[in-house]
Amino acid sequence: MKRFLGSNRLRTAIFISGTGSNFKNLVRFSLSKNAPIKINLVISNNSKAKGLVFAKQKKIKNKIYRFKNVNKDEKNILNILKKNNIKLICLAGFMKILSKNFIKKFQGKILNVHPSLLPKYKGLNTHKRVLSNNDKFSGCTIHFVNSKLDSGEIILQKKVKVKKNDTPKTLSKRILKQEHILYPKAIKKILVNL
Ligand code: GRF
C-alpha cells in the first residue's frame, strides 16, 4: 500500500455549514501519523458555522460563500480550489446542493457523509423518518457524490441499533460518533485507488 507522508498527502478541502464536528475529526485524522490527507482549505456557506472558529484557531485557510448566486459562488470556489491545488473535497454537514457542472469538474473526488443507511432515507430529517417507521437499525454512509442527491457509490456504511426510547436527538448523537470513525476509514479505503 502506498504511503502518504509529508508533502505526498492529498490536498483536501472540507465543505461545512454548521457545527463541524466531522470537520474537526478529519483535521485530527489528517494530523495523525501516515495520514493520507492534508486539510488545506475550509469552505462554508454560513458565516456563523461553528466549524469556522476551529478553522481559524488551527490557522486553516477558510472562505465563506453564501450560495445566494450559486453560479458565481461555484465559479469562485472552483478558482480557489485550483489555486490551492485541491485534489479531494470532503463534504461534512454541508447543506447546499452542488451543481452538476461543479461535480463534473471534481468527478470521483467529492465525498459526503450521510446519517442513514443509504439508499434509505436520502435527504433531510433522516432520524425522524427512521423513528416514525419503527426501523430497528439506522446508521451512516460515506459515499462519492454524483449529480443525484445522496445517490453516489457507497464507500462504507456502519449500522447503528435504534433503541426503544430514542429521539431524533439521541439517535443522531450515537450515529454522529460512528460518522467520526467511518469517514477516516473510508478515506483510507479509497485513496489507494485515487
Ligand atoms: C452529520 O450528521 C452529517 O451526517 C449530516 O449533518 C451532520 C453534520 O454534523 N449531514 P457536523 O457539522 O459534522 O457536526
Q: Is 110 left (phi over 0), alpha (psi -120 to 50) or beta?
A: beta
Between strands 10-16 and 88-91, the pairing is parallel
Domain residue spans of the chain: 6-191
What's the 7 CA to ligand 1 centre distance in angstroms? Answer: 29
What backbone phi and psi angles, to 5 degrees, belong to 84? -95, 10
pLDDT at res. 7: 56
Pocket of ligand 1 (CB under 6 A): 18-22, 92-93, 113-115, 176, 179
Q: Under CATH, what is the fold of the domain 6-191? A: Rossmann fold (3.40.50)
What's the 192 CA to ligand 1 centre distance in angstroms? Answer: 26
Atom from ligand 1 closest to the CA of residue 16: 12
Which residue is associated with the grid cell 463534504? 91
Q: What is the pLDDT of residues 131-175, one digit of tens each?
A: 999 999 999 999 999 999 999 999 999 999 999 999 999 999 999
> Which of 155, 176, 183 has most ligand 1 atoms within 8 Å of CB, for mutation?
176
Closest residue by Cα to atom 8, ligand 1, is 93
> Which of 14, 17, 19, 22 has most ligand 1 atoms within 8 Å of CB, for mutation?
22
* Catalytic position from the list 114, 127, 143, 180: 114
What's the 115 CA to ligand 1 centre distance in angstroms? Answer: 7
Asked if 114 is an active-site residue, the reply is yes
Q: What is the pLDDT of residues 12-70, one digit of tens each?
A: 999 999 999 999 999 999 999 989 999 999 999 999 999 999 999 999 999 999 999 99
**For residue 56, what are the CA distances in angstroms to 4, 37, 59, 61, 169?**
25, 19, 5, 8, 28
Q: Is 150 left (phi over 0), alpha (psi -120 to 50) or beta?
A: left
